[in-house]
Amino acid sequence: MRASAFVPGHITGFFRPMENEEPLRSGSMGSGVVINKGVYTNISLREADETSLEIYFNGDKGEHPVSGFAAKEVLRLAGARYKVEVYHESEVPISQGFGASAAGALGTAMALGRALGLPLTMNKCGEIAHRAEIANKTGMGDVIAECRGGLVVRLAPGAPGIGIVDRIPCDFAIVAWIVGPPIETKTLLKDDEKKKQIASLGEKAVEALLKHPDPESFMRISRKFAMDSGLMSEPVRSAVKALEEKHISASMIMLGNSVFALTRDPEALRDVLQYPMIVAEIDHLGGRLI
Amino acid sequence: MRASAFVPGHITGFFRPMENEEPLRSGSMGSGVVINKGVYTNISLREADETSLEIYFNGDKGEHPVSGFAAKEVLRLAGARYKVEVYHESEVPISQGFGASAAGALGTAMALGRALGLPLTMNKCGEIAHRAEIANKTGMGDVIAECRGGLVVRLAPGAPGIGIVDRIPCDFAIVAWIVGPPIETKTLLKDDEKKKQIASLGEKAVEALLKHPDPESFMRISRKFAMDSGLMSEPVRSAVKALEEKHISASMIMLGNSVFALTRDPEALRDVLQYPMIVAEIDHLGGRLI
């Protein structure tokens, strides 16, 4: 049996980590934009004597623990044993703040559920993917945003159906640049003092955005959060500065060595920075079977 | 200034009324499908000495109190006085269970907010439209569904951001027939005994759907709810029976003199019933500015 899903990527502008003993209530508040570049997941499976699982990410066979977690959770719900192959084809880089791990996990839950004939609701798939992210410390709010689509404000943390989101109407295009090597989310957020400071800045950022919820404020507040939080690497800081000199409001993609801007004319930004560039529209649909 | 919105219609299969003193928490649980036929709302406004409001529904100028409620709420947030014209062009009939009043109110909140330059989030627009529905007793769960899109299960009542929804993956087309005159929602739900019985049936229906959340179960459970609730008029009962005789699983649209079926081949149903027919796809986007 075969099934496929597409899950859009998600660029976080700012966030407030909110840990909870219960993984489904753990996560973050914050805001980010869901983009129409993401992860395609194709599942191929057949019944077998023993359950086995192979996961490929852009052709690279590996452990891929976030998708692996999601696949194992779905397989536990199945009544028989299967040889399962999961193929991710990603349009966005990993460990650069595009929510690729969440998109892979959510796509795995949706497509594997479909291939197995399990009637999983979107929230159920979202819960599985959210727990996969929390368990692996790879993300805290990408799944609920990628389930919804749009310029998302996360008002309360948690998995879809538990966390609360709002949306800000937005039809800008998104341009992103990858300006340095990948970053592991968990390495940046292990210092308790740092986490407290980011939590305080993130809380203020959400409050500020809700006072004036429009795309321009989202960019301005994201940028302030990035500056004040000390999360920007040197290449990110230089790129944001270079863009500012050209009157382009940009900020860091949380958490990556990458920056983004909202624009009505992505072509005009093509030669502004000499880094790999990703151009996307906003995805308003959220993850779906295809 | 001008602005426009499209809000999809919503066909309810079954529901459990859940009233609350607080309008934003009032509403219903239940399930229904959001369709790509709905209400286009065009706003035209200019500053004036006195605020005035004219509302047209398919060319018919009238009080249109649900959209009127929404428009007045948005105008209260504006800093000046305006002459406002609201034009609704609806692809679905009113008072036939398509959530047209909710779609008109939500479209009014979104487009009027945009025309006035107010930064309203989607939840804020949804709250205004939901309160407009509750105040006029015209609907109890259409707004939150029409904000989301898809085959929606309403797990907790209320406005967007307060009520909780889930979605069942579904790519069927929807065919609906109008088999009798319009029904006012509030006339059907004023008897307390009846309401209690419907609440009990609606609760069981939601539980049954969550045990096996797929489109076929949604149809089967909707049909059982329609039969057991005694809400079907004679023309609805006859139409459902006529479709059943042709092996087409159909049910009543809550609350209208109308019936619906999910199908992969809408053309095959074209001559099955001699009533006005509406063919639609599922809308997965929800209400949006256009």
Mind listing the pLDDT tens digit for each residue in B6-29? 999 999 999 999 999 999 999 999
How does residue B194 score in pLDDT terms, banded at 50, 70 and 90? confident
Chain B, nearest residue to A160 by Cα: B166
Q: Which residues are B45's β-sheet partners?
A: B84
Please report, for residues B24, B71, B85, B287, the alpha-carbon distance to residue B68 in angstroms, rounded to integers and kept in the order given. 18, 5, 11, 18
**How many residue pairs bridge chain A and chain B with CB atoms within 8 Å of each other?**
63
Contact list in A for residue B214 (CB cut-off 8 A) is 119
Do the Cβ atoms of B167 and A121 come within 8 Å? yes
Question: What ipTM describes this predicted complex?
Answer: 0.92
Of B155, B212, B284, the CB nearest to A161: B155
CB A284 within 8 A of CB A276: no
Q: Which helix (H) or strand (E) holds A7?
A: strand A2-18
Chain B residue numbers touching A213 (CB-CB < 8 A): 119-121
Supply the pLDDT for residue B188: 65
Across the interface, whether the CB atoms of A110 and B169 are under 8 A apart is answered yes
- Whether a cis peptide bond, with omega within 30° of 0, leads into B255 is yes
Determine the Cα–Cα distance for residues A251 and A218; give it in Å rounded to an integer. 10
Q: Which residues of B touch A124 (CB under 8 A)?
A: 166
Chain A residue at shortest CA distance from B150? A285
Q: How far is it, in rounded angstroms, from Cα A142 to Cα A237?
A: 24
Q: Note whether A144 and A126 are within 8 A (CB).
A: yes
Residues of A in contact with B123 (CB under 8 A): 166-167
Q: B206 - beta bridge partners? A: none
Report the alpha-carbon distance of residue A37 to residue A44 in Å, rounded. 23
C-alpha Rg value of chain B to the nearest Å: 18
Cα angle for residues B166, A255, A37 (degrees, 5° grid): 55
In this complex, do A161 and B161 lie within 8 Å of one another by their Cβ atoms? no
* Closest partner CB to A166 (pick from B110, B161, B171): B161
Q: Do A121 and B166 touch (CB under 8 A)?
A: yes
- B284: chain A residues, CB-CB within 8 Å: 285, 288
Tokens of B142: 């259409």
pLDDT at position B208 over 80: yes
The 8-class DSSP code of residue A121 comes to: -
E-strand spans in chain B? 2-18, 27-47, 52-57, 60-62, 82-90, 151-156, 164-168, 173-178, 250-252, 258-263, 277-280, 288-289
Listed range (A183-187, A286-290, B158-162) with the worst mean pLDDT? A183-187
Q: How confident is residue B43, by pLDDT bands cut at 50, 70 and 90?
A: very high
The two structure tokens encoding residue A106: 């959510």
Which of A264, A275, A260 is closest to A98 using CA atoms? A260
Whether B169 and A214 lie within 8 Å, measured CB to CB: no
Q: Which residues contact A247 (CB under 8 A, 6 or more apart)?
A: none
* Chain B residues inside the 8 Å CB shell of A161: 155, 164, 166
B164–A121 C-beta distance less than 8 A? no
Least confident residue range of A63-72, B107-116, B178-187: B178-187
* CA distance linking residue B76 with residue B69, whole number of Å: 11
Using a CB–CB cut-off of 8 Å, the residues of A that contact B are 110, 114, 119-124, 150, 153, 155, 160-161, 164, 166-169, 171, 210, 212-214, 217, 284-285, 288-289
- Residues whose CB is less than 8 angstroms from the CB of residue B179 and which lie 6 or more positions away in sequence, other chains included: B235, B236, B238, B239, B257, B258, B259, B273, B275
Asked whether A42 and A57 are in contact (CB, 8 A), the reply is: no
Residue B185 has pLDDT above 90, yes or no: no
Question: Which positions in chain B touch A209 (Cβ < 8 Å)?
Answer: none
Residue A157: pLDDT band (50, 70, 90) is very high
User: Could B120 and A213 be called an inter-chain contact, meaning their C-beta atoms sit closer than 8 Å?
Assistant: yes
Q: What is the pTM of this model?
A: 0.94
pLDDT at A80 over 90: no
Taking residues A22-34, what's their average pLDDT? 97
pLDDT digit string (tens) for B46-100? 999 999 999 999 999 999 999 999 999 999 999 889 999 999 999 999 999 999 9
The whole-number pLDDT of residue B191 equals: 77
Question: By percentage, how much of chain B surpasses pLDDT 70?
Answer: 98
**Tens of pLDDT, residues A210-232:** 999 999 999 999 999 999 999 99
- B190 has a pLDDT exceeding 90: no
State whether the Cα torsion B257-B261-B267-B268 is positive or negative.
Answer: negative
Q: pLDDT-derived band of residue A185, with 50, 70 and 90 as boundaries?
A: low
From B217, which residue of chain A is nearest by alpha-carbon distance?
A: A119
* CA dist list (Å): B35 to A168, B175, B273, B287: 23, 10, 21, 11
- By mean pLDDT, which of B102-106, B169-173, B179-183, B208-212 is the weakest? B179-183
| Mean local confidence (pLDDT), B102-126 | 97
| Helices and strands, counts by H and E, chain B | 8, 12
Q: Which residues of B touch A (CB under 8 A)?
A: 110, 114, 119-124, 150, 153, 155, 160-161, 164, 166-169, 171, 210, 212-214, 217, 284-285, 288-289
CA distance A66 to B124: 35
Rounded to an integer, what distance in angstroms lies between the CA atom of residue A131 and that of residue A140? 9
Which residues of chain B does A128 touch, with a Cβ-Cβ cutoff of 8 Å? none
State how far the Cα of A68 lies from the Cα of B203, in Å rounded to an integer: 36
Peptide bond into A255 cis (omega under 30): yes
What residue of B is the nearest CA neighbor of A122? B167
A245 close to A221: Cβ distance less than 8 angstroms? no
Query: Average pLDDT of A260-266?
Result: 95
Could you tell me which chain B residue has the CA closest to the CA of A164? B161
* pLDDT (average), residues A244-261: 94
B86-115 b/e with 16+ CB inside 10 Å = b?
bbbebbbbbbbbbbbbbbbbbbbbbbbbbb
- Closest partner CB to A123 (pick from B110, B166, B288): B166
Q: How many CB atoms lie within 10 A of CB A195?
A: 15
- The residue of chain A with its CA nearest to that of B161 is A164
Tell me which chain A residues have a C-beta less than 8 angstroms from the C-beta of B161: 155, 164, 166
Closest residue of A to B289, CA-based?
A169
The nearest CA of chain B is from the CA of A122 a distance in Å of 5
Which residue of chain B comes nearest to A121, CA vs CA?
B168
Q: How far apart are the first and last CA of chain B?
A: 14
Using a CB-CB distance cutoff of 8 angstroms, which residues of chain B are in contact with residue A107? none
Mean pLDDT of A155-173: 97
β-sheet bridge partners, residue A250:
A261
Residue B287 phi/psi, 5-degree rounding, is -55, 140
CA neighbor of A289 nearest in space, from B164, B163, B151, B261: B151
- Whether residue B119 and residue A168 make contact (CB cut-off 8 A), yes or no, is yes
Please tell me what DSSP assigns to residue A254: B
Confidence band, pLDDT 50/70/90 cuts, at residue A189: low
CA A278-A284-A290 angle, 5° bins: 85
A213–B119: do the CB atoms touch at under 8 Å?
yes
Q: Which helix (H) or strand (E) holds A29?
A: strand A27-47
Are the CB atoms for A227 and A253 separated by under 8 Å?
Answer: no
Query: Is the CB of B217 less than 8 angstroms away from the CB of A119?
Result: yes
Identify the helix (H) or strand (E) that includes residue A6: strand A2-18
Range from A91-105, A175-189, B155-169, B199-213 carrying the lowest mean pLDDT: A175-189
Supply φ then ψ for residue A236, to 5 degrees.
Answer: -65, -45
* Chain B residues whose beta carbon lies within 8 Å of the beta carbon of residue A169: 110, 114, 122, 288-289
pLDDT value, residue A162: 97
Average pLDDT, rounded, for chain A: 95
